[in-house]
Structures are given as C-alpha cells and as structure tokens.
Amino acid sequence: MNTNNKVAVLGGGSFGTVLANIAASNGYSVSLWVRDAEQALRINSEGANTNYHPELKLSDKIEASDSLQKVVDEASLILIATPSSIFENIILRIKPLINNDKAFLISCTKGILSNPFTLLSDVISSQVNNDIGVLSGPNLAKEIADNKVAGTVIASTNDQLISSVKTVLSSNTFKIYSSTDMQGVELAGALKNIYAIVCGMAESMEVGENAIGLILTRSMAEMSRFAVAKGANPITFLGLSGMGDLVATCTSKLSRNYQLGYNLGKGLALKDAKIRVGQVAEGIRTLEVIKKESSSLKIKMPLVESLYKIVYEDCEPNTLINDLINNPHEVDVEFTY
C-alpha cells in the first residue's frame, strides 16, 4: 500500500462484500460503505451481510458504516462497487471527503452512463486528480464467497496502483492479472452483460448448445467491433476481462443478467423479471446506452438490436434467433484493429 493499511469499499452488495472480505482476510483494515445505518449495524453485529451472502462469515477487520466520510477518511485504496445508477452521485459526494491525495480509486462496477456516453473511470477522472484503475473479470460473487477459484484483471497506467491492488486482493483462490488498457477492460465488463441477457433468453427457449456457441462468438464479434470504434484494443477482449467474463456470465445461472434474460424468454415483462432476479442486473441499463451509441456511430450490433426490440418494442423472444439466422452478415472472424 502507498501510505497506510486502510481500504475503503463503497457498496455493500454482492461483489463489494466479497472484495471487502478478501482485503480484510489479508490483514487490512476495511471500511465498508452501505446505504443505511440499519444494514451497517446488522453487518457489524452479526459478522455477515445477510442481504447478499448469509453463508459468508466476514472478517472482524471489516467495519460497515453509512457514513461516506468515515469510510473514505485516510483510505489508501478506495474500491467503488456501487450500482452504475448511483455511481456518479457517489463520486461527487466523496470528492470533498478524500483527504489522501495519494489514494488509489478503483472502479469495480460494470456499467456505462448515457447522455453523454461516459465510462465510469472517466466519471472518476473528471472529478478527482488521484490515480485510478478498473477491476473486471469473470467474478460471480457467490463463487468467490464460497472460496472457489476465480481471476480478475486490474487495469491502470499506474504500476504502483496495480501492485497495490494485487497485494490487497490476491489470495490462494483469487488470482489477479494486469492490463494497461483501462478502456478495453471496462468496455468488456459492461458489454458482456448484454449478451448474458441474450444467452439466458436463448436458454429459456431451449435453442441448444450449438446455438449458444453461435451466440457467444457473434457476441465477441460485436463487442470487439464496438471496442475498435471507441479506441480500445480488441486484443483485450480475448483475455480474462473479455472472453473469460463473457463465457462465465453467459453460461451461469448465478449471473443476474443471465437470470433476467431467462425470465424474459419465458414471457415475463421486464418489471416482473427484475423483481424475480431481486438484484441489479446492469445489462438492461447498458443495453439502452449501447443501442443509442452504436446507432449514432453506425456500428453493426445485430444481437443488441434484436434484444432491444424484444425488451423495449414488445417483439417476441423468438425474434432473437430469427434475426440471428436471417442477418445477411456472414463473415466469421473480424478481429482487426
């Protein structure tokens, strides 16, 4: 760490909780920000976040609080794992509270803001002068909580930040890789949520495993096409934050976005499907942002367009497969700069 051993985690949801527990289990003092005092009290008294991981015994080095000032005060590493819908507000609130100008700020949220199109790392950099990074990968929180092997990617242009994140979060079951392509890692993490919805929907229609393989590869083609248009390195999408996260999220029933797609494929309205999932599925928000941006830039993203029609224009779920088969584009590999 760069100045002291305090780690702040903003967001007491599924992923924030497991990140906090890894850091605390590695010996760091962790302050966990949650949105209400009652939840903080329960976490501190019960030693568990029963809203998300009732089975996970939290380290006694974690202290939860609903006070952002208390949580970020003198922290050397600030991990931001809030939903994208409140991400900008949180950054604005902590901006005057950060009293450690050497603190590293890490975005751990897989989402993109609209009006205008804005990556979450850009939200941070536009407000603070601290060094920043992006953490993303195939990180299904339930498996991490169960101490199953997982890997992730920390992307930054600051070598000391990368080293600090590896030191704080590495464990016998959590492997951390590095990248300098923050934009690519961040885009990959956000985009794959759309395709997890697509795959969940396809699974609910019992299209078969061959079709899922088809969807996964066309998803990768769309993701890399968009990445190139936005200036990211498409090779990043072959790595853990790209293909690794895409495969895990698009094939796992633990994925909230996959669950959302599955329920939509069974005919549930979006509102009801969200209720059934019970937690935030970032893919729906990202779908709207990417549909608008890809249309503006004239980027071809057939799966995005089909899913948008189903979710927002009341088309039938089988539109997804029909559009995929009937799309005139037939070039296989498009992995070019």
Distance CA 308, CA 288 (A): 7
Contact 74, 6 (CB under 8 A): yes
Alpha carbon 233 to its chain centroid, in Å, reads: 19
pLDDT tens digits, 278-321:
887 899 999 999 999 999 999 999 999 999 999 999 888 888 88
Q: For 49, which DSSP code?
A: B
CA atoms within 13 A on the CB side of 311: 26
CA dist 217 → 139, 204, 223, 253 (Å): 20, 19, 10, 20
At 164-175, the pLDDT tens digits run 999 999 999 999
Q: Is the pTM of this model over 0.85?
A: yes
- Ranges for all domains in the chain classified under CATH 3.40.50.720: 6-180
The set of catalytic residues is 192
| Dist CA 74 CA 197 (whole Å) | 39
User: pLDDT category, 2, cuts 50, 70, 90?
Assistant: very low
Q: Tell me the torsion sign for CA atoms 142, 143, 145, 150.
A: negative
Question: Among 2.40.30.10, 3.30.1300.10, 1.20.120.1200, 1.10.1040.10, what is the CATH number of 184-326?
Answer: 1.10.1040.10
Is CATH 3.10.50.40 correct for 6-180?
no
Report which DSSP code applies to 147.
T
Express as a percent the part of the chain with pLDDT over 90: 87
For the chain, give every residue range classified as CATH 1.10.1040.10: 184-326
| 327 pLDDT above the threshold of 90 | no
Q: What distances in angstroms separate CA 311 from CA 30, 37, 256, 260, 317, one per listed residue? A: 40, 36, 16, 11, 9
The model's pLDDT over 87-118, given as tens digits with 9 standing for 90+, comes to 999 999 999 999 998 999 999 999 999 999 99
